[in-house]
Structures are given as C-alpha cells and as structure tokens.
Structure 1
Amino acid sequence: MFGISLGQLLFKQAAAGLTQAAGWQGWVFNGWLISALMLYGVTTLLWVWILRHASLHLAYPFMGLAFLIVPVLAYFFLGEPLHLKTLLGGALILLGVSLAASAA
C-alpha cells in the first residue's frame, strides 16, 4: 500500500507538469508519469505475490490504509493541507483494518 500511495504523489507531480496544451510528447516524456507507472507495475507484481500467500479477505483491507497514507505524504512532500476530518477518517480506517485483520 505504501508503493501505491507513493505512486499517487508521483501522479500528482506528473499532472502538475502537464500544461493544457501538452501534446502526446508531454505525456510520454513526463519523468514523473513514467516513474509512477513503473512503481505501479512493480507494486502490482508485489500485490499478486502477496495474494499467492494470503487470503484476499485478509490482504485487501490494508489497501484502505492508502486513504490515510496519501494525504499524510502529500502534506509532508507536496505541502498540501492536512485536515482534522482526514485524520479522523484515517483513524476509523485504521480501526476497520484492525477489526478485519483480527476477524480471521
């Protein structure tokens, strides 16, 4: 989930580097976009490996942690605001992940 979260920050940087008039070259040669796609490729392979060794009902709730990790990383690395409601929602997600993981 950390790789997916970091990939979201890279996608944000890629989007910030594109102008309205950017042609296909702006997309194809965007280093941020290339990095994000490569990271997503690697994390997808890792996810498939995880699913070989864990049940989906145990592994998947951890993907919800990205809803907390992404805003926190965006706060620290992109200077985006971090709101109390985001943190409270993240705490609920942590509770839900803990509950789902303990139910096994």
Structure 2
Amino acid sequence: MGYAYIFGTIFFTVYGQLILKWKIDQYGGLPELWKDKVIFLLQLLLNPFILSGFLSAFVASIFWMAAMTKFDISYAYPFMSLSFVLVFLLSVFMFGEPISLKKVMGVSFIVIGIIVMR
C-alpha cells in the first residue's frame, strides 16, 4: 500500500502542474502594469481548474504524509523525481513543448538515479 501513496503523491503533483500550465496558457502572459498583474492573478485564482490544481497539491501532500508512515524519506523522496519525468513527457504531448537531447539526457539520468537508489 505504501507505493500507492507515493503514486498518489506523484499523480496529484503532475496533475496540478499540467492543469495550471494549461489554463494559464489560455489567459496569456502576465501584464506589465502592477495593477493589471493583480487583476490577472485574481482572475486566475477564480478559475475552477486553477483551484483544482491547488487542491491537487493539497491532496498530494496528504498522500505524501501517508507515504512517510511507510517508508524512510531517503527511500521515498527519489521517487518524487518521477514527477519531473512525467511532466516533461506529458508537456510534449499536451502542449507541443520541444524535445532536446539535453532534456532527454536529463530525464534519463533521473530514471537511472531512481533505479540506482532503489
């Protein structure tokens, strides 16, 4: 069951990041004027999808607390780097973000690191 807690942490972390990126991209760039920035950010905060991204961070924290009851942090925490791998892969498919050799190498090192730590 402990690995399910780690998976839940990763799932809700990745969901939150992707949903925030998706909705923020729809709103466009941050305005220049300070007043407009505040209004822009308040509009984002009122978006239900953005709120679900924040809620997912809270849920991820609950899963992480449960995972900490099952594993040493030095064992469990490296698995959290899988969120970087998943966000990278999903951002390519969902947002058309570019793939580069450096990014692929970095993701490969993360995966190798997890395998070595395990």
Q: TM-score range by the shorter chain?
A: 0.7 to 0.9
Tell me which residue corresponds to 1:29. 46
Shift of 1:25: 4.0
- Measure, in 2, the Cα distance between the counterparts of 1:58 and 1:26: 40
1:3 maps to 2:32: no
Secondary structure in 2 matching 1:80: coil
Q: In the alignment, residue 46 of structure 1 is paired with which amino acid?
A: F
Note the alpha carbon deviations across 1:26-54, whole angstroms, 9 max, x for none: 03311221110111111110011011111
1:62 maps to 2:79: yes
1:72 pairs, out of 89, 92, 106, with: 89
TM-score in terms of structure 1 length? 0.84
- Measure, in 2, the Cα distance between the counterparts of 1:96 and 1:37: 29
Aligned-residue CA RMSD (Å): 1.7
Q: How many residues align?
A: 101
TM-score in terms of structure 2 length? 0.75
Structure showing greater relative contact order (alpha-carbon pairs closer than 8 Å, 6 or more residues apart): 2
Runs of 4 or more, structure 1, over 4 Å off, are none
Shift of 1:3: 2.1
Unpaired runs of 5+ in structure 2? 1-9
- Conserved in 2, the CA contact under 8 Å of 1:8 and 1:36? yes
